[in-house]
A and B are shown apart, each in its own frame.
Chain A
């Protein structure tokens, strides 16, 4: 109980610090023509994508264990499993310490049901980009923080989402897996309209 309280306090502090940090230069506060409500609606769609199993299953915390969640694993909303075979991505986040991800995940999706999906570089997202079980507000703060988004400006984030092969895989995940919602172009557009409206983050959820 005590530990839990301390962690919460620490997290709050960290988040405050992050939001206090100088906003990235590409947040164009002057050209904000869209209302904050519209921006938040656009963000909400981005969050829908980021928290989708195709994305969140591999944006996992420092336990380095990829998750299995979503209907393709026969699981309902909120349910999840650790990746089978006791797999861990290790600190390398590519399984170099035990079984490399690429032992099974090849550069393309395997075509049999339940066979491993694939993309040119299969790996866990860097540990500072954890999205797994994070709230909309938390991911929003995170994506604006270059320390936790891979050192990117928001335009670079959008570019990453529009072009990175592993991210693109989220919309073409192979047989039996539900793709991430919308399309990558749409998500890039959502991000852009959110950015130009000042990239507001939602209130913390209880």
Chain B
């Protein structure tokens, strides 16, 4: 069954069973492989994407429920090809990733947090990030990086959101 899907501001049409979780549609139909599979049951957060500002676990989100909703994946987090999101910059500055596999999900959860709470406390960071497991244990660095992104001026002025009006299309 053909379904329309908006990802990172681009309209796609996919032909796949509508019960298929978004994670597999992103990875297999759209070849957007930055979003990772970790557990399949919304326990680890590796598959987190942002939908209407909420950090959603794409492994349990059926394609059918996406009508009219805007999906942002790690591939769409940076405001442009030349410029990283302040969180991505902070991730590099604090040398956060080890294996890096969980980091797309960590970054999407962190981006959702900063979008609604530009100056989170440590406890608020813990609360928003507890759904994302990092088996390399880089939680201390993640917390520091979120704080430094939050305090940087860029974070306040340029937190990236989509403007529905300039949506491109691949059709």
With a CB–CB cut-off of 8 A, which chain B residues contact A9?
none
Instruction: Check A108–B65 contact: CB distance below 8 A.
Output: yes
Count of interface residues, chain A, beta-carbon cutoff 8 Å: 23
CB closest chain-B residue, reference A109 = B60
Tell me if A19 counts as interface (CB < 8 A to partner B): no
With a CB–CB cut-off of 8 A, which chain A residues contact B62?
106, 108
Instruction: Check A85–B131 contact: CB distance below 8 A.
Output: yes
Instruction: Check B61–A106 contact: CB distance below 8 A.
Output: yes
Q: How far is the CA of A104 from the CA of B45 in the complex (A)?
A: 9
Tell me if B95 counts as interface (CB < 8 A to partner A): no
CB closest chain-B residue, reference A120 = B65
Interface residues of B in 13-66 (CB under 8 A from A): 19, 40-43, 48, 54-57, 60-62, 65
With a CB–CB cut-off of 8 A, which chain A residues contact B55?
99-100, 103
Instruction: Check B56–A103 contact: CB distance below 8 A.
Output: yes
Tell me if B169 counts as interface (CB < 8 A to partner A): no
CB closest chain-B residue, reference A96 = B116
Tell me if B127 counts as interface (CB < 8 A to partner A): yes
B102 CB, nearest partner CB in chain A, Å:
14
Instruction: Check B130–A116 contact: CB distance below 8 A.
Output: no
Instruction: Check B54–A115 contact: CB distance below 8 A.
Output: no
A105 CB, nearest partner CB in chain B, Å:
8
Q: Given the known A-B contacts A106-B60, A108-B65, A111-B19, are A98 and B128 also in contact in the complex, defined by CB atoms under 8 Å?
A: yes
With a CB–CB cut-off of 8 A, which chain A residues contact B127?
88, 97-99
Tell me if A102 counts as interface (CB < 8 A to partner B): yes
With a CB–CB cut-off of 8 A, which chain A residues contact B42?
103-104, 110, 115-116
Count of interface residues, chain B, beta-carbon cutoff 8 Å: 20
Q: How far is the CA of A110 from the CA of B20 in the complex (A)?
A: 10
Q: In the complex, which of the residues A103, A112, A115 has the most CB atoms of chain B within 10 Å of its own CB atom?
A: A103
Tell me if A107 counts as interface (CB < 8 A to partner B): yes
With a CB–CB cut-off of 8 A, which chain B residues contact A99?
55, 109, 127-128, 130-131
Q: Given the known A-B contacts A85-B43, A98-B124, A99-B128, are A116 and B60 also in contact in the complex, defined by CB atoms under 8 Å?
A: yes
Tell me if A114 counts as interface (CB < 8 A to partner B): yes
A133 CB, nearest partner CB in chain B, Å:
25
Instruction: Check A102–B56 contact: CB distance below 8 A.
Output: yes
Instruction: Check B128–A84 contact: CB distance below 8 A.
Output: no
Instruction: Check A84–B43 contact: CB distance below 8 A.
Output: yes
Q: Given the known A-B contacts A108-B62, A110-B60, A115-B60, are A103 and B41 also in contact in the complex, defined by CB atoms under 8 Å?
A: no
Q: Given the known A-B contacts A106-B60, A106-B62, A111-B19, are A100 and B41 also in contact in the complex, defined by CB atoms under 8 Å?
A: no
Q: How far is the CA of A118 from the CA of B59 in the complex (A)?
A: 13
Which residues of A are in contact with B by a Cβ distance under 8 Å?
Answer: 84-88, 97-100, 102-104, 106-108, 110-116, 118
Q: Could you jot down 24 A-B contacts, CB within 8 Å? A: A85-B130, A86-B130, A87-B130, A87-B131, A88-B127, A99-B109, A99-B127, A100-B55, A103-B48, A103-B56, A104-B57, A104-B60, A106-B61, A106-B65, A107-B65, A108-B65, A111-B19, A112-B60, A113-B41, A115-B40, A115-B41, A115-B42, A116-B60, A118-B60
